[in-house]
Amino acid sequence: MQTNGKPSVKIPDSKLAREVTELIRDTEDELLFMHSARVYLWGALLGERKGVTFDPELLYVAAMFHDIGLTSIYHESQLRFEVDGANAARDFLRSHRIAEADIDKVWNAVALHTTPGIPEHMHGEIALLQAGAGMDVAGRGFEEFTDEERDAVIAAYPRDPGFANRIIDAFYHGMKHRPGSTFGTFNDDFLAYKDPEFVRTNVCSIILNSNWERRTTR
Amino acid sequence: MKSRSTVAAICAAVALAVGGMVPTLDAHAQAQPTFNQSTANAGDEVSGVKIPDSKLARDAAQLIRDSEGDFLFQHSTRVYYWAALAGKRKGLAFDPELLYVASMFHDFGLTAGYGQSHLRYEVDGANAARDFLRSHGVSEANSQMVWLAIALHTTNGISANLFPMAALVAEGANMDLVGAGYDDFTVAQRSAVEAAHPHPPQFAEDFMQALYDSLKHRPETTQGTGLADVMAYKDPGFVRRDFSKLMRNSHWATGK
Does residue B139 share a domain with residue B252?
no
> Largest Cα–Cα distance of chain A, in whole Å?
71
Does residue B222 share a domain with residue B114?
no
Residue type, A193: Y
Tell me, yes or no, if A168 comes closer than 8 A to chain B by beta carbon.
yes
Q: How far is CA B73 from CA A187, B61, B122, B158, in A?
A: 33, 8, 16, 25
Count: domains in chain A: 1
Does residue B164 share a domain with residue B242?
no
Interface contact flag, A184 B161, Cβ < 8 Å:
no
CATH of the domain at B97: 1.10.3210.10
Interface contact flag, A213 B208, Cβ < 8 Å:
no
pLDDT single digits (tens) B141-171 = 999 999 999 999 999 999 999 999 999 999 9
Separation of alpha carbons B165 and B187, rounded Å: 24
Residue in B158, B243, B248 nearest the CB of A186:
B243
Does residue B242 share a domain with residue B124?
no
Does residue B205 share a domain with residue B103?
yes
Interface contact flag, B223 A193, Cβ < 8 Å:
no
Quick check: is A8 in a domain? no
Does residue B165 share a domain with residue B63?
yes
Does residue B234 share a domain with residue B181?
no
Residue in B223, B227, B251 nearest the CB of A139:
B251
Does residue B126 share a domain with residue B24?
yes
Distance to chain A for B154, nearest Cα, Å: 8
Does residue B227 share a domain with residue B170?
no
Q: The pTM is what? A: 0.90
Sign of CA dihedral B79, B81, B84, B90: negative
Range of the domain at A80: 15-217
Quick check: is A2 in a domain? no
- What number of H helices and E strands is found in chain A? 11, 0
Range of the domain at B162: 2-217
Does residue B256 share a domain with residue B134?
no
Interface contact flag, A207 B248, Cβ < 8 Å:
no
Residues of chain A with Cβ-Cβ distance to B253 below 8 Å are 139, 161, 164
Residues of chain A with Cβ-Cβ distance to B176 below 8 Å are 212
CATH of the domain at A112: 1.10.3210
Residue type, A52: V
ipTM value for the complex = 0.94
Among A72, A21, A54, which residue's Cα sits nearest to residue A130? A54
Residues of chain B with Cβ-Cβ distance to A120 below 8 Å are none
How much is the pLDDT for B29? 37
Separation of alpha carbons A200 and A195, rounded Å: 11
How much is the pLDDT for A214? 81
pLDDT single digits (tens) B97-128 = 999 999 999 999 999 999 999 999 999 999 99
Does residue B196 share a domain with residue B156?
yes
Residues of chain B with Cβ-Cβ distance to A165 below 8 Å are 248
pLDDT single digits (tens) B236-249 = 999 999 999 999 99
Does residue B223 share a domain with residue B190?
no
Please provide the average confidence, as pLDDT, over all residues in chain B: 87
Count: domains in chain B: 2
Quick check: is A1 in a domain? no
How much is the pLDDT for B39? 59
DSSP letter (8 states) at residue B49: E
